[in-house]
């Protein structure tokens, strides 16, 4: 600003000096009555005055251009600058239009943002309400937790009391176990008595069969096979080729036919004594294909009259392990001084108890007699004679000779932990279709139902 003021003052002073010089020059020329270019003196003074004014203006402009060069450039490039300014104005107008469009879009976005802000405000209100509700729930949960802690303390006290009661109960249990051992000994004696009762039951069943036969005779026909009567039983090892499984199955069916024929059943027009279709046999072969041991039982499906074939159905169940090798079935102490006859009676009762133990454990009896097994009588006599020669008390055990399943056969040995009697013992084979030694001892005989 100060530079501008000094510049104006300079122009005014310089113009005044030039005007004064021009005036004085004009005055002197007029006084001397000079004439230029044949002009009159007065006209010459006027020309000098005009030239002085022109010089003043030119000097002022020259000084102005010398001091402020941008002004000179602006004056000489005015048209070009005007054109550039117009182009810039057009660009600015275009930018203004673009900015207006963006302003409209921004206003639209502003409205959307305001709507979102309003939604967020509503959500915030709902969240505040939810927070208040959760705070109320938190207070309720804390109250419930306090109640639970109190109940837990009470439960711990109750648990401590129950632990004390359990300790007392354990002491009573030990006493009861001692009593149980006594009762188990009594139970073994009772099982021997049960074997006798089973024999009586077999006799009663025989009487019932006789009464049924009498009823059939009175009605004009005689039933030789009762419904659910087991005709045959056998064990088939799975995992074999189908032809071998089919051969084993046919051998069991042949046993059933022999049993039915011996009871009085006869073949039909197709030559079949037991009625089982080929499709059923194939289905049984498929059931027996998985690896494992299987028990196959053939039952009469209905009461059958004499001279007629027997409809049957076949049951296949896994040959589950009943006794593992070395299991002690029964044991007893044989006191010193018994006669050979008394020893035979003692061993006979042990064998009966072993048979009863096998029947109770789930080993299936013979379909013909219901026997759990047979024991050779001559072996029993040899064992009694061998024990009679011993001059001290001996503890005798009947143990399982090999792993035995539901279908048997069960093989046992009679051993003594005090002496080596293995050379004196006989083997008991259950459910064997082979010929047994003469006069075998029947173990837990009865029907095969």
Tens-digit pLDDT string for the chain (449 aa): 666 676 677 777 777 777 777 677 666 766 666 666 777 777 777 777 777 778 777 777 777 677 667 766 666 677 777 788 888 898 998 989 888 898 988 988 989 889 889 899 888 888 988 888 898 888 888 888 888 888 888 888 888 888 888 888 888 888 878 777 876 776 676 677 677 667 777 777 776 765 665 555 445 557 778 877 888 888 888 888 888 888 888 888 898 888 889 888 888 888 888 888 777 888 888 888 888 888 888 888 878 888 888 888 888 888 788 888 888 888 888 887 788 888 888 888 887 888 778 778 777 766 665 665 666 677 778 777 777 777 778 888 888 877 877 776 677 777 777 766 554 443 333 333 333 344 555 554 433 33
Q: Quote the pLDDT of residue 445.
A: 41
For residue 58, the Cα-to-chain-centroid distance in whole angstroms is: 109
Bridge pairing between strands 310-318 and 292-300: antiparallel
Closest CA to 293 of 260, 321, 318, 325: 318
Alpha helix ranges (H) inside 294-442? 340-361, 377-388
CA distance 152 to 159: 10
CA distance 84 to 299: 120
Q: Quote the pLDDT of residue 219.
A: 54
Q: Quote the pLDDT of residue 51.
A: 79
Q: Quote the pLDDT of residue 430.
A: 35
Q: How is residue 283 written in tokens?
A: 């289905």
Q: Would you give the DSSP letter of residue 326?
A: T
> In the block, which residue shows the tokens 């959500």?
123
Q: Quote the pLDDT of residue 426.
A: 39
Q: How is residue 223 written in tokens?
A: 């039933």
**pLDDT tens digits for range 189-240:** 667 767 766 777 777 777 676 566 555 544 555 777 887 788 888 888 888 8
Do residues 64 and 11 touch, judged by C-beta distance below 8 A? yes
List the end-to-end C-alpha distance of the chain, in Å, as a whole number: 136
CA distance 292 to 318: 8
CA distance 253 to 274: 8
What number of other Cβ atoms are within 10 A of residue 38's Cβ? 7
**3-class DSSP assignment, residue 413:** strand
CA distance 422 to 413: 8
CA distance 352 to 374: 10
Q: How is residue 25 written in tokens?
A: 């020059």
CA distance 352 to 412: 13
Do residues 300 and 257 touch, judged by C-beta distance below 8 A? no
For residue 101, the Cα-to-chain-centroid distance in whole angstroms is: 63
CA distance 273 to 255: 11
Burial 116-139 (b: 16+ CB within 10 A, else e): eeeeeeeeeeeeeeeeeeeeeeee
**How far, CA to CA in Å, does 444 sit from each of 226, 342, 343, 399?**
22, 21, 20, 17
Do residues 304 and 347 touch, judged by C-beta distance below 8 A? no
Do residues 396 and 331 touch, judged by C-beta distance below 8 A? yes
Q: How is residue 21 written in tokens?
A: 């010089």
Closest CA to 233 of 372, 441, 40: 372
Q: Is the peptide bond before 409 cis (omega within 30 degrees of 0)?
A: yes
CA distance 81 to 62: 22
Do residues 270 and 307 touch, judged by C-beta distance below 8 A? no
Q: Quote the pLDDT of residue 49.
A: 76
**3-class DSSP assignment, residue 298:** strand
Alpha helix ranges (H) inside 77-222? 78-218
Reported for 175-182, long-range contacts at CB under 8 A and 24+ positions apart, including other chains, are: none
What number of other Cβ atoms are within 10 A of residue 85's Cβ? 11
């Amino acid at each position: 600003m100060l530079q501008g003021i000094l510049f104006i003052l300079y122009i005014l002073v310089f113009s005044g000096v030039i005007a004064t010089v021009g005036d004085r020059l004009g005055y002197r020329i007029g006084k001397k009555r000079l004439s230029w270019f044949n002009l009159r003196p007065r006209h010459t003074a006027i020309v000098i005055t005009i030239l002085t004014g022109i010089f003043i203006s030119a000097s002022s402009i020259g000084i102005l251009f010398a001091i402020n060069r941008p002004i000179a450039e602006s004056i000489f490039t005015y048209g070009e600058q005007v054109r550039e300014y117009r182009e810039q104005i057009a660009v600015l107008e275009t930018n203004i239009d673009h900015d207006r469009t963006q302003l409209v879009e921004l206003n639209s976005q502003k409205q959307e943002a305001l709507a979102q802000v309003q939604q967020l405000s509503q959500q915030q209100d709902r969240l505040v309400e939810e927070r208040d509700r959760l705070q109320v729930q938190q207070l309720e949960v804390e109250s419930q937790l306090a109640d639970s802690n109190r109940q837990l303390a009470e439960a711990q006290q109750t648990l401590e009391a129950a632990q004390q009661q359990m300790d007392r109960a354990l002491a009573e249990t030990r006493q009861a176990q001692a009593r149980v051992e006594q009762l188990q000994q009594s139970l073994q004696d009772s099982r021997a008595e049960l074997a006798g009762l089973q024999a009586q039951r077999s006799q009663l069943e025989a009487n019932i069969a006789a009464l049924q036969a009498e009823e059939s005779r009175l009605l004009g026909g005689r039933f030789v096979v009762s419904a659910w009567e087991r005709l045959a039983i056998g064990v088939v090892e799975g995992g074999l080729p189908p032809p071998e499984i089919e051969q084993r199955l046919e051998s069991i069916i042949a046993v059933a036919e022999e049993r039915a024929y011996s009871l009085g059943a006869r073949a039909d027009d197709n030559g079949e004594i037991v009625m089982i279709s080929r499709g059923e046999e194939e289905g049984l072969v498929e059931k027996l294909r998985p690896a494992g041991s299987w028990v196959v039982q053939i039952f009469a499906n209905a009461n059958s009259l004499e001279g007629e074939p027997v409809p049957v159905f076949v049951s296949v169940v896994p040959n589950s392990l009943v006794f593992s090798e070395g299991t002690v079935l029964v044991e007893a102490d044989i006191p010193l001084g018994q006669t050979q006859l008394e020893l035979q009676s003692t061993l006979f009762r042990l064998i009966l108890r072993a048979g009863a133990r096998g029947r109770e454990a789930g080993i299936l009896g013979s379909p013909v007699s219901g026997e759990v097994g047979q024991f050779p009588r001559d072996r029993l006599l040899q064992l009694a004679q061998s024990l009679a020669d011993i001059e001290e008390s001996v503890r005798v055990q009947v143990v399982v000779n090999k792993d035995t399943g539901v279908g048997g056969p069960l093989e046992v040995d009679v051993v003594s932990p005090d002496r080596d009697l293995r050379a004196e013992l006989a083997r008991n084979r259950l459910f064997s279709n082979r010929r047994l030694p003469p006069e075998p001892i029947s173990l837990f005989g009865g029907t095969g139902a």
